[in-house]
Structure 1
Amino acid sequence: MGIPDRFDVTVALDYYAPYVSGLTEAARITAEGLAGRGWKVAVACAQHDPTLPRQEQLNGVHVFRAPVLARISRGFLTPRLPLLAARLAARSRLLHLHLPMPEAAFLMALRPKARVVTTYHIDAFLPDTPMNRAAMRLADHSCRATVKRADLVIANSDDQARGSRLWPAIRQRPFRPIPSPCVDRSGGTPRLREGDGLHIGFMGRIADDKGIEYLVRAFRAIDDPKARLLIAGDYQTVAGGSNIARLRAEAGDDPRVRFLGLLRGERVRDFYASIDVFALPSISESFGIVQVEAMMAGVPSATTDLAGSRYPVQATGFGRLIPPRDPEALRRALLDLAGTSRADRLAGQRRARELFGGEGFLDAHEEAFRSLVTPEHRADRAT
């Protein structure tokens, strides 16, 4: 299939598949879902891996990548990305920006004619150093300038938006809360279990903002030789680097702690089927797709009480909220949740599926996008 002359929507962000993070997965699943419903979708992103093609079609989505000139902490210098996104937006009715994206302000300065939707996923977070503080101020400035010119702003929840550093700008624009897409990962096989002891799981990027060291400390304070801590997630290609060495040092010689690496496909289902409690100990988080997917598999979540990330627990009642950076509170919550009855697990699973399962997120995006463009302004569907 050739490249269309026009698109319904151009999606712009820094990282896209095959990179894995909550932001990129939300963007990918939404883009592919729209493409599956007949929308013509283009993605403008950085060529974060030089072995990736500059242009390809992935699951119905036309992906265009701009070369990376230099890498800076979690980000990179990609001067061609705003130009690439602007060219694609000029052929589109909608431009969908996933923030934070440092280049977004430059893209907006090019004055794309497309209507602009921004999905604001999270306030930028970097470990506290003078250079990183400057980088976060720059990211906030770029996001704020972009939000102020957006025709519509989307966030994972009203709670996340109101707790953001950008809320003063967001509140002045048309706003819709739409939860991130969550996949039902139930039905796996507990291949990762080692006996009948308490199994606690974490899944996500192995990085500073996930607060995993507090989970390791909480787990090591549990005096049960049969207990296991399963930590799944990428630590080899994490933007800005992984803290895996520090986490291994935290685990020390405790043979109960397992670092599983990045899991894909059926192994993700097997992971959720192998644990009794999920932990999301992040010190920076806006929703936590993984905790919702755990809930949808019947596993309650112990989650830090942060704007946005607490919303799924509050909405479902299927978990416990704990203060950030508090291993003792996390330990107590994990042991409390371990006693969740089968009936309560099934009820929590049902609530999570009702609130976050299916294609409700996609219906909401279609409704939001169609509110900005009339049917006659849609791209020609002929291939």
Structure 2
Amino acid sequence: MPFPIAYHRKTCAQEPRTNRGGPGKTTGRAHAGATMTAPPGYAVAFFTNTFYPFISGVALSIDRYRRHLKALGDRVVVYAPQYEEPLEDTDEIRRLPAIKQFLHTDFALPLPVSFKPLLDFRNEDFDVVHVHHPFLLGETGMRLARQHGLPLVLTYHTQYERYTHYVPVDDAVAARTIIRHTTDFCNLCDLVIAPTRDIECVLRDRGVQSRIEVLPTGVEVDRFAQADPEAARQRLQIDASAHVLLYVGRLVTEKNLEYLVRACLRVLEAEQNAHLVIVGDGQNRHALIGLARERRRTASRVHFPGQVTGADLEDLYAAATLFVFASKTETQGVVVAEAMAAGTPVVALDADGVRGLVRDGLNGRLLPEEASETDFADAVLDALRDHAERSAWIPAARKTARELNMPCLARQLHELYGSLKLLPKHELKRDTMSFGLIRNYFETVWEQLSQRFMRI
């Protein structure tokens, strides 16, 4: 099934000299069987620095692929951090030691020091190692793949250099260090999965020479057919005739939420029948609540229901008039696709990970990344007031979501695993040992200091 045409829009500055398929297509010998019955199941080891109960797009993606690969006959074992909450995990979810509430957040920082994966790999036969981060448990998975002669896959979920505000060093230095490390790690992989064509181009332009395939996180479209929008509105005490602006995601700095809330408050001031619903949790929650309360005329129409999951979340998506999104750091806006699956048009900024989904004037509005809060508010108001145009966006939004049907994407990943079985074995490179990132950091600091002294 082809992906939305927007996935093909951008051309990379640097293209590899290997035969590559388009988004979601395997390359080489495996592609010939893309429409055939799935081959026998594979044993796959996932390594991730974040997983449930921590709510994030990465955790959601891993869980969806895990479940749908299992339905195809694969055995997927997930190595993930241990959290504070007691969990009823099966043998397929194996928890490793972690620093709880790292940097006073709900994130658990995994410690890649456990012997459990080493023992497991001695006693169990895995076919593929699939890591979801290029550091910490990702490096653990990489070393095990090389030691056992297994193919190594990396899904590039996150633009890590956009998160340097969490690191207590100079942002520019940290960003350069992260880019160097992630590029090196990608070049050690047999396959890199990019969620969108934009991210593939970013990696190519940085010098990644490994095979890259574009494979987004899919949407379980059928689940939204049972959504009950009236129930969601009743839970929030929102009238059936009111407009609902919805955001779903973590309440953190990188999601550009102060911008989004201020823009939406302008909408609420102009439209007395409009409500804003902010779903999720994070360290910026209290600051955002305070921001919403600053305007007394609209404070009662801003709702913070916290974390919402499962059928209740699907109800909220369906209850929304518009989904609003201002993040500039996405690799793929999974929540954007989910909103569309519920038939909810989207107003968003034109940024990586979003522009492949939102087609301006077709299934929503896509504003320039530098759009002001007033520009964003005006676009939302125009959409609310033009019922005919907004109604035309609804079927187009659903069509976009159907092109990201999760079972089809899981089958493509399954077939990619099969193609990797044909690859020769590789040896572990010394540059990827545990202290490689620290070494790169000091090299970058030294380079920056040298440049400063040369200008004195």
User: Is the structural similarity TM-score above 0.5?
Assistant: yes
Would the alpha carbon gap of residues 100 and 230 (structure 1) be closer, same or farther in structure 2, given more than 3 Å must change?
farther
Alignment of 1:62-141 (within 5 A): 62-69=92-99, 72-73=102-103, 76-80=109-113, 83-88=115-120, 91-105=125-139, 107-109=141-143, 111-112=146-147, 113-124=149-160, 125-126=162-163, 128=165, 131=168, 133=171, 139-141=178-180
Paired residue for 2:414, among 355, 361, 366?
366
Does the 8 Å contact 2:72/2:411 carry over to 1?
A: no
Letter of the 2:150 counterpart:
A
Alignment partner of 1:192 is 2:223: no
Structure 1: gaps of 5 or more residues: 1-5, 236-241, 375-383
Alignment partner of 1:249 is 2:279: no
Paired residue for 1:143, among 177, 182, 185?
182
Does the 8 Å contact 1:186/1:272 carry over to 2?
A: no
**Bigger RCO (CA 8 Å, 6+ sep):** 2
Tell me which residue corresponds to 2:352.
307
The count of residues paired between Structure 1 and Structure 2 equals: 355
Paired residue for 2:320, among 275, 297, 305?
275
Letter of the 1:179 counterpart:
P
Once the 2 structures are TM-superposed, how far is the Cα of residue 217 of structure 1 from its aligned partner? 0.5
Paired residue for 2:383, among 325, 330, 337?
337
Q: Deviations over 1:74-126 (max 9, x none)?
A: 56251325x54455456311000112544423543453421111110121132
Once the 2 structures are TM-superposed, how far is the Cα of residue 17 of structure 1 from its aligned partner? 2.1
Once the 2 structures are TM-superposed, how far is the Cα of residue 286 of structure 1 from its aligned partner? 1.4
More off after superposition, 65-74 vs 27-36 = 65-74
More off after superposition, 173-182 vs 350-359 = 350-359
Letter of the 1:368 counterpart:
L
In 2, the alpha carbon distance for the partners of 1:343 and 1:70 equals 46
Alignment of 1:127-276 (within 5 A): 128=165, 131=168, 133=171, 139-163=178-202, 167-170=205-208, 172-184=209-221, 185-190=224-229, 191-193=231-233, 194-195=238-239, 196-222=241-267, 223-235=270-282, 242-252=283-293, 253=296, 254-276=299-321
In 2, the alpha carbon distance for the partners of 1:102 and 1:316 equals 42
Would the alpha carbon gap of residues 262 and 303 (structure 1) be closer, same or farther in structure 2, given more than 3 Å must change?
same
In 2, the alpha carbon distance for the partners of 1:145 and 1:127 equals 19
Q: Compute the RMSD of aligned alpha carbons.
A: 2.7
Whichever structure has more helix as a proportion of its residues is: 2
Once the 2 structures are TM-superposed, how far is the Cα of residue 336 of structure 1 from its aligned partner? 2.8
Would the alpha carbon gap of residues 227 and 307 (structure 1) be closer, same or farther in structure 2, given more than 3 Å must change?
same
Letter of the 2:188 counterpart:
R
Q: Deviations over 1:195-232 (max 9, x none)?
A: 22321000011111111211110111122222100111
Tell me which residue corresponds to 2:4.
none
Alignment of 1:42-57 (within 5 A): 42-49=77-84, 51-52=86-87, 56-57=89-90
More off after superposition, 95-104 vs 145-154 = 95-104
Would the alpha carbon gap of residues 103 and 318 (structure 1) be closer, same or farther in structure 2, given more than 3 Å must change?
same
- Percentage identity across paired residues of the two chains: 24
More off after superposition, 225-234 vs 336-345 = 336-345
Does the 8 Å contact 2:47/2:131 carry over to 1?
A: yes
Once the 2 structures are TM-superposed, how far is the Cα of residue 63 of structure 1 from its aligned partner? 1.0
Larger Rg: 2
More off after superposition, 336-345 vs 13-22 = 336-345
Letter of the 1:94 counterpart:
V
Letter of the 1:16 counterpart:
F
Report the secondary structure of 1:153's partner residue. Answer: strand
Q: Deviations over 1:320-369 (max 9, x none)?
A: 22225732222122223323536513431342233112412112101111
In 1, the alpha carbon distance for the partners of 2:391 and 2:100 equals 53
In 2, the alpha carbon distance for the partners of 1:210 and 1:348 equals 25
In 2, the alpha carbon distance for the partners of 1:250 and 1:365 equals 43
Letter of the 1:96 counterpart:
H
Tell me which residue corresponds to 1:28.
63
Structure 2: gaps of 5 or more residues: 1-40, 423-456
More off after superposition, 287-296 vs 143-152 = 143-152
Does the 8 Å contact 1:10/1:95 carry over to 2?
A: yes
Normalised to the residue count of structure 2, the TM-score between the two structures is 0.71
Report the secondary structure of 2:127's partner residue. Answer: strand
Q: Deviations over 1:50-77 (max 9, x none)?
A: 6346xx31xxx71111111466435625
